[in-house]
Structure 1
Amino acid sequence: MSGILDSVNQRTQLVGQNRLELLLFKLNSRQRFGINVFKVREVLQCPPLTSMPKLNALVRGVAHIRGQTISVIDLSMATGGKPIEDLKTAFIIIAEYNRSVQGFLVGSVERIINTNWDAIMPPPQGTGRASYLTAVTEVENELIEILDVEKILNEISPLNTEVSEGFSADIDKEKNKDKIIFIADDSSVARNQVKKALTALGMEIEAAKNGLEALNRLKELAAETGDVTDKVGVLVSDIEMPEMDGYTLTAEIKNTPELEKLHVVLHTSLSGVFNQAMVKKVGADDFIAKFHPDELANAVQKWFGND
């Protein structure tokens, strides 16, 4: 087990090439789940947890780790399952999402696998847990489920999605009246958050569920005039998405003549640890860490119609 924990801490810088590494874990059953290693700070055996008043029912307590107090969320309970009972044998995955650090209580941690985003598929429809899944993949003939952590966190502590009262949209509506803001994000919660924040700009918004779907739709729009910027003002894209990640999507856009002038804002929960060199390498115009409505709206406004 110590080898797995050391590996997590040493391999969190993997980005690009449409590749990713998944840390596999279990909750209360044989079903395996995965989390992107790039979001993981460390993995440790569950330390003593301190109960505090008025904690959300899904938060089992707080842990004091390396001088920081971290809320510990029971991932089994958060996805509709039974609580993880034996804390002495359980583990905590310390991860960073949306500018904050959380601990996720899991039953066991197994190993890290190396895979490609094109092997990560949207979740199947009609399964009971589907609303908490953002993607699935197959490893050794077994289905691995990837949880929509942003949905879980939003249920525990909903984010503000409205821009501040002092925000003033500064877009030439007449010049851009026929253009849209395009969003690519695999999390339904994240898509809705972005839509609500960007409605303040007064523009039409269209969304795709992953990078491949976004690329195909952008090519369709470009085919109408020969240049996608005649139809789309800016693309706001997540980085982690099934089938094609945001880095690869950006690179494809910048290497396709009818798409290359499109401004791309990468918008991701990989806050604090993202690879700035990779953002520049693929040609993205901006990077915004999730989730601050004013920052996002200002970033989109800056690039909208800025040829």
Structure 2
Amino acid sequence: MSSILASVDQRTQLVGENRLELLMFKLGTRHVFAINVFKVKEVITVPRVSQMPGSHKNLKGVTNYRGSSIPIIDLRQSIKMPALKGDAAKKQHVNVIITEYNRSVQGFLIGDVLNIVNTSWSNIQPPPSTIGKANYLTAITQIDVNGKSELVEIIDVEKVLAEIIDYDIQISEEALDHNVVEHLKGQTVLIVDDSGTARKQIRDTLAQLGINVLEENDGLKALKRLRQWADDGKKVTDEILMMFTDAEMPEMDGYRLTAEVREDPRMSDLFIALNTSLSGSFNEAMVKKVGCNRFISKFQPDLLVDVVQERMREILDN
């Protein structure tokens, strides 16, 4: 099964072109789910798992993966799908997706893996507002599966992990430059991320510094907001101190968003930080390519503070 991802390193050219590849799978029912291939390290059959008494109910245990112990999470249970019974329950877990999110590696128990599809972020839509905020989706799309158009639900893995891992938003005293922090009070920052969990983490961190937050859940909405300010004759850098953007979002990804901002002389000097659960040298290279000012792997409160202080220092020095 791992061969399905053998050429993942050859797919990096998709990023920056507002395209992505989705790994599609099932969770024991006919519904089709997906996550971005760039979050996936490997797909394996269910390994031997050692249970951990007293652990979170969605954590099925740990397994040895390439010399390290990693947690194995029941994805179906995590997104609160009804429990399967009888023979269906016995067959619901046949594979594990090994992923890397927020600088950590974990495995998710899933059912059958379907295939990998190449699509455009413009074809990815936010989940309908009618399903409420309690859902575990960042987006939906229509994909051809075996000659039939299927609704594919893209899972908000960051929300799943946040319910298992207690993310600390506390800012360490060592990270604070009090001469700069005083000037941050009342400043406004734009956060662009399709995960409500990720937006909340940034919002709660920056609120400790007295920073106001504007939010958008996809890159296209953010670009329209910035362009509207410019069309109204407003200077974008007067409206916001800076922008934090995720890499992967419906409609328009963070790389394309950054490139569009840099190409518009009315807003090209906006300070942009890419804040993503994707990590590694690849993202650092993409940051340079599209023109981001900083790259941060989620979730690191002290680094978020470091970035806004850096931006504030630039303004104070000028």
Contact 2:169 2:204 in 1 (8 A): yes
> 1 CA distance for matches of 2:65 and 2:162?
23
Kindly state the Cα deviation for residue 127 of structure 1 after the two structures are TM-superposed: 3.1
Q: Which residue of 2 aligns with 1:208?
A: 216
AA at the equivalent of 1:63 = T
Aligned mates of 1:27, 1:194 — CA distance in 2:
31
Per-residue displacement from partner, 1:275-304 (whole Å, max 9, x unpaired)? Answer: 322211111000011011011111122013
Q: Does 1:171 align with 2:180?
A: yes
In structure 2, relative to structure 1, the CA distance for the partners of 1:305 and 1:207 (3 Å cut) is farther
What is the aligned partner in structure 1 of residue 56 from structure 2? 56
Which of 72, 96, 104 in structure 2 is aligned with 1:100? 104
In structure 2, the partner of 1:74 is 74
Q: Counterparts in 2 of 1:275-286, with a 5 A limit?
A: 275-286=283-294
Could you tell me which residue of structure 2 aligns to residue 181 of structure 1? 189
Displaced runs of 4 or more, over 4 A:
7-14, 176-179
2:34 maps to 34
Q: Is 1:263 matched with 2:267? A: no
More helix by share: 2
Determine the C-alpha separation between the residues in 2 that align with 1:188 and 1:44. Answer: 30
Q: Note closer, same or farther for the CA distance 1:92–1:273 as it changes in structure 2 (3 Å cut).
A: farther
Distance in 1 (CA, whole Å) between partners of 2:7 and 2:90 is: 25
Query: What is the TM-score with the length of structure 2 in the denominator?
Result: 0.89
Unmatched segments (≥5 aa) in structure 2: none
Query: Aligned equivalents of 1:214 and 1:145: distance in 2?
Result: 23
1:156 to 152, 164, 169: 164
**CA distance in structure 1 between the partners assigned to 2:116 and 2:266 by the alignment:** 39
For normalisation by structure 1, the TM-score amounts to 0.92
The DSSP-based 3-state class of the residue aligned with 2:55 is coil
1:191 correspondence with 2:185:
no
Equivalent pair of 1:93/1:104 in contact (CA under 8 Å): yes
Asked if structure 2 preserves the Cα contact closer than 8 Å seen for 1:22 and 1:114, the reply is: yes
Residue from 235, 238, 261 that aligns with 2:246: 238
Corresponding residue pairs, total: 306
3-state DSSP class of the match of 1:302? Answer: helix
- 1-side partners of 2:220 and 2:29: how far apart? 32
The change in CA–CA distance for 1:5 and 1:289 in structure 2 (over 3 A counts) is closer
245-254 vs 158-167, which moves further: 158-167
Contact 2:243 2:270 in 1 (8 A): yes
